[in-house]
Structure 1
Amino acid sequence: MGPVPATGTRRHTLTLPAPDGVAAAARLLVQGGLVAFPTETVYGLGADATNGAAVAAIYAAKGRPSFNPLIVHVPDIAALDGIATLGPEARALAAAFWPGPLTMVLPLAAQAPLSSLVTAGLQTVAVRIPGTELARDLLRAVGRPVAAPSANPSGRVSATRADHVLSGLSGRIDAVLDGGPCSVGVESTILRPDPSVLLREGGVPAEAIEAVLGRRLSRDTTPGRVQAPGQLASHYAPGARVRLNRAARAADGVMLGFGPVAGDLSLSAQGDLAEAAANLFALLIEADATARDRGLPHIDVAPIPDVGLGRAINDRLARAAAPRPDQA
């Protein structure tokens, strides 16, 4: 699978080792550049969320549909003042899970300084405080909200290492801040609070949110109804066709195992969902390269228990397996 074509000027992409590269990365962002940076979930492709031209460059670099909103990253809850309005449930969830892999879709504050491209025309904004000190150091150094979708061509597998970013976006962005592999490995959980509705499974299990709220969450994860990032039906897709819930290797596919189901690669030989989540995108990329090298059309994936982080993994796999126009 080659790079997805994108419009925009070709750029020389720097690799900035962390933590020394934080200051240089922040300068690039303030100047309107595009910088990929690691969070606990995946690498994000950052731009100054108040700069319309910079945000437009994200869409161009990723080849991203303009109707798909972006997540705004801030270093602390005080930085949301003037950007979003937090109700009682949002404040309780922020106290429990921020910093961390939870995104909340909140009412947009009056006169919020964000580019309208960030919200894709909605009257809400998706926000989070990332869980790694490195990401928060960068955000503090920038001093502005940073819009950051996953740092990969739109619809393709998310990046959990700097080399994944460069494979998909080298020449389209200004720099990648290399902070090593991401620890969680799947994107943040997204919900709309007050009252809370789950929009996307992710790094915070729904059960943990329900424990804070003291009630069951309602869910609206319908593919194609875009209220928040990551709700497109076809997403996270490698070049090979993905087949789910496969119990054994097949001659025409590369097998991703889990637990007792062996494979060419294993998400977690011990059946550990946290390990599987952390490995998911990196192994999808590796399986896709293996399938291409072997001339095989499929990636087969063992069954994943649909509980806790397993629901987030299965959500990403279902979107990876969804039909795409280029696979008709």
Structure 2
Amino acid sequence: MPQRKLGNEGLEVSAIGLGTMTMPDNQASIDTIRGALDYGLTMFDTADLYGTGSGTEAYSQKRFGDNEKLLGKALKGRRDEAIIATKFGVTHTQGYKGDPSYIKKSVDASLYSLGIDYIDLYYQHRYDPNTAIEETVGTLSDLVKQGKIRYIGLSEAPADIIRRAHAVHPITAVETEFSLWSREVEDEVLPLLKELGIGLVPYSPLGRGFLTGQIKKFEDLPENDYRRQYSRFQGENFNQNLEIVSLIEKMAMQKGCMTAQLALAWVLAQGDQIVPIPGTKRLERVIENLGAIQVTLSNEDLAEIERISPKGIASGSRF
């Protein structure tokens, strides 16, 4: 399994990771996580906000922290083989939080839920406008010194916040949405990350599943699927986006790979410190996604992808 570095502090992870947000709490999910580890995948992503299950269930207050418990249970006995990333800072009733008191409570709660002694990569899930980022990162830096976390990350943070945070303590990675259909990060954030030597961890690198080519009509989404609420999956937006996916599918066939593998290979080709974390509940999908590492894209391939799916091509907003 090829490894990639995130940041300049020594963190190395598998070139593709696994997002666990929508996993139900059952043996199948545990088998998928352990199977991913068997195949050499080492980067596992969760958050204290995530519950277990898909759609709105994953954000239900009653299920707060359950996803961490699921991941901890799946990795029990194999903790040293895994890089565990989790997040703090989004609440159900108080908006975004990044004050020292909240962080200290959150890290202890996550350590308990995961059943581990330290967190490899600890992200601020969303920037708290009521707490200076310098104060937040200063607290996280203290947690590094205490050994509760190893590396510090930010999620969906703008460029100015990233720069200010990095001046306090090295930021190892920024997690944000990035795919052929969500390329806003290219404007300011990605150039800054490359300048500062910070890794990028793209979530939803397959456009919430649309870029797999498996979704052909709106009715393919289960009734309780959260994606039904997204404009890219609705009405005329859906039809226009489906036409773009068909072009990507055609190119994937010519390359001898799956549509999802081509989309992931494009993300991987955007920088050496980029580690996408596609989410899935099924081990066969994990294995298929890992196949993207073997897909080589030439300059001509990248130019063709840019032609058929240029920046801003997707119809509808990403949220």
TM-score range, shorter chain: under 0.3
TM-score (norm 1): 0.27
* Structure with the bigger percentage of helix: 2
State the TM-score, normalizing by the size of structure 2. Answer: 0.27
Higher strand fraction (1 or 2) = 1
